[in-house]
Each structure stands twice: as C-alpha cells, then as structure tokens.
Amino acid sequence: MANKNKKKTEQKKEKSEQWSPVTMKTIKWSITRELTRTRTLVSLANRALALERNTNNITVLDGYLAQLRNQLVLIEDLPENAIDLLKTNNKLCAQNVFEANRAQISDHLGDRGHEGLVNQMITLIGDVTTTVNNFRSGRVSAIPGTPPPPPSDVLAPGNAHTTDGIAPRRAHPEQHIPERSVDTCQLNKLSFSEYCFEDMEKDLNKYCILAYSLRSKGCRLDDSFFINSFIGKLPQQVMGTVFKKHHQKDRTFQELVGIAYKTISEKRALDQALKMKRGRITTNEVHDDRYPSTSQSRNSSLLPPDSNKGKMTVGHNKALVLSSDSNSSSD
C-alpha cells in the first residue's frame, strides 16, 4: 500500500509540473539565482587567486578554472534560455505581450549586471589560466635535468631573443605548438556579426576567451600585430571607433576590448531609441489618417489669433452687395 501511495503521489506531482505554466516571476527568480551562484563562484576563485602560490592552491585554482568555463557558457546563454522559458507559456508569448515581456527580461538582466559579470568572468578565466600555467612552467624548469619551456611568443614574429645572431634552441616544441595552433586557427576563423548587436557581444566574448587562452600559452596580446588583427576583425560599426581610440593613444588589448564592449552597447541603445522614435511617428501618422478633423483643428489652433481677421465669407459679401443696391435705389 505504501508503494502504491508513493507512486500515485509521484504521478500527481509529474502531472502538476506538466500542466503548471511558467510565470514571469519564475523566470526572473531563475535568472537571479544563476547570477548569484556565478558571483559566489567568482568570489571564491578571486580569493584563491589572491593566496600564496603552492601545489595545493594551484590544484584548487585548476578546479575553479573548469567551473568558471562551464558557468561562463551557461551565463552567456542565460538570455536565450529565459526567452525559451517564456515561450513555454502561451499567454506570456502572445503577440500583444511578447515584446513587452522580452524587454522586461532584458531589463531584469541589465539591472542585475549580467553583461558586466560576463566580462568579469572572461578576465578572471584569463588570470587563473595564466597563474596555473606559469606556476607549472616554473615547477618544471626547477626540476634538475628538465629542459626549459619553449619561448613564449607565438603570434608576434621576429621577437625571439637571440645571442650573436644564433637563434635559441627549442626543446620539445611538439608538446606545446599543436595546442596553441588550434587556438590560433580558431581565432583566425572567428568572424563577427555585422548587424545583430547581441551576436556581436557573443562573438567578442568568444574572441576574448580564445585570446586569453593564447596569453596563458605565451602569446603577447599587447603586440601591435595581434592588436591590428583584432581591430581588423571587428564589425564595421565598431571598428572605426576602436581604431580611432587606438590611433589617438596606444592602448592595451584589454583597453580596446573594453572600448569595443562600450561601443556595441552604445550602438545598441541608439538603435533601440531610433526604433522607438519610428514607432511613435508611424502611430501619429495613422492617427492623423483616421481622425483628419482632429488634425485640422490641431493645425488651426496653432495659427495666431488675428489670422482670421479681414477674411469674409461668400455669404457676407452677398449681404454687402444687397445692402448697397437698396441704398442706391432709395436715393
């Protein structure tokens, strides 16, 4: 009997979960919960990053690194997942309220710092990766009889250190070059969206992840060759601003990334404002077409008060003519 009652309870629970629609409150709660969980993970990783470097600490950081990468993917997809949840409720995704609900979700994400948290995680992943790899490289080179790690420069040609014109000998390059070559190929193949600002941000996030991964393997991101390659890949709407800022003053890769994020955000806000303005103009035109008398009265009300003086109607003119004829006949 106990097993039967338990099965019935589980079946009722499953049915209630299937038929209970998702509400906006549930969607907002899930967004807030995931962002809070991410901030907790970032705080723990930052605390571990500030501790003294030792084997145990590096092991902990390596564990946080995997969690941060997985959480970054989840956080980047958070807006799309929220919209998917919204679409499960037919009332919330109805034609007359869908855009308003989607804007409400976007505002909820913005108020809770979604974009800034994504950028913070990208920077943190790069710092943790660099710390872990640098520590391990130092430990390997400190062991007697172990060859030193290969030179660090990858994308910047011509800056390997030489002595008396003799290039340094690279030990075991096959252990390191293939991994970096994969990241380099992915970075070269990556292309930015030219029209959708949300896709531009996602592409920029992917570019930064690959770039910081290369930095952890020895690539110098502030090299002019790398920076020029980065600017050349940016969307046309963003490239001009970033190039101008870099031309005015030599900036680091991190500074240019921040400028690119800011430019995309400003362009998106301007685009939304223009769309709202066009919508208002269209609404006013439709109102004028439907109610012409209202528009005419509105236009006439704009005229100065003395503009109708000196104007006489046709009936008034006829009355004047008749009165003049009667006066002449009486004379």
For 322: left if phi > 0, alpha if psi spans -120 to 50, otherwise beta; the answer is alpha
> Which residues, in sequence order, are bridge partners of residue 166?
163
Give the integer Cα–Cα distance in Å for 93 and 272.
Answer: 21
C-alpha angle 10-13-15 in degrees, rounded to nearest 5: 110
Least-confidence region, from 47-56, 149-158, 213-222, 236-245: 149-158
Least-confidence region, from 48-62, 138-152, 204-218, 257-271: 138-152
Residue 167: partners with Cβ closer than 8 Å, 6 or more residues away: 160
Least-confidence region, from 122-131, 184-193, 222-231, 237-246: 184-193
Q: Which residue has the tokens 């390659």?
A: 229
> For residue 117, which amino acid is it?
L
Residue 217: partners with Cβ closer than 8 Å, 6 or more residues away: 133, 154, 176, 179, 180, 183
| 30 burial type by CB count under 10 A (0-12 exposed, 13-18 middle, 19+ buried) | middle
Residue 294: partners with Cβ closer than 8 Å, 6 or more residues away: 287, 288
More confident residue, 152 or 249: 249
pLDDT over threshold 60, residue 17:
no
Give the integer Cα–Cα distance in Å for 263 and 259.
Answer: 6
Enumerate the domain spans of the chain.
21-137, 179-292
- Output the pLDDT for position 222: 86
Average pLDDT over residues 232-255: 87
- Output the pLDDT for position 296: 55
pLDDT over threshold 60, residue 170:
no
* DSSP at 28: H
pLDDT over threshold 60, residue 77:
yes
pLDDT over threshold 80, residue 176:
no
Average pLDDT over residues 62-81: 86
Measure CA 295 to chain center. 42
pLDDT over threshold 80, residue 131:
yes
The values of phi and psi at residue 163, to 5°, are -125, 120
More confident residue, 200 or 90: 200
pLDDT over threshold 80, residue 183:
no
Taking each helix axis from N to C terminus, what angle separates 114-142 and 197-216, rounded to the nearest 10 degrees?
10
More confident residue, 93 or 42: 42
- Output the pLDDT for position 217: 77
- Output the pLDDT for position 52: 74
Average pLDDT over residues 139-152: 45
- Output the pLDDT for position 246: 86
Residue 39: partners with Cβ closer than 8 Å, 6 or more residues away: 117
Longest dimension (CA), the chain: 139
Least-confidence region, from 10-24, 39-53, 224-238: 10-24
Work out the mean pLDDT of the chain and round it to a whole number.
73
Residue 32: partners with Cβ closer than 8 Å, 6 or more residues away: 108, 112
For a pLDDT cut of 70, what percent of the chain falls above it? 65
pLDDT over threshold 80, residue 9:
no
Average pLDDT over residues 41-52: 86
Half-sphere exposure of 108 (CA within 13 A, CB side): 22
pLDDT over threshold 50, residue 148:
no
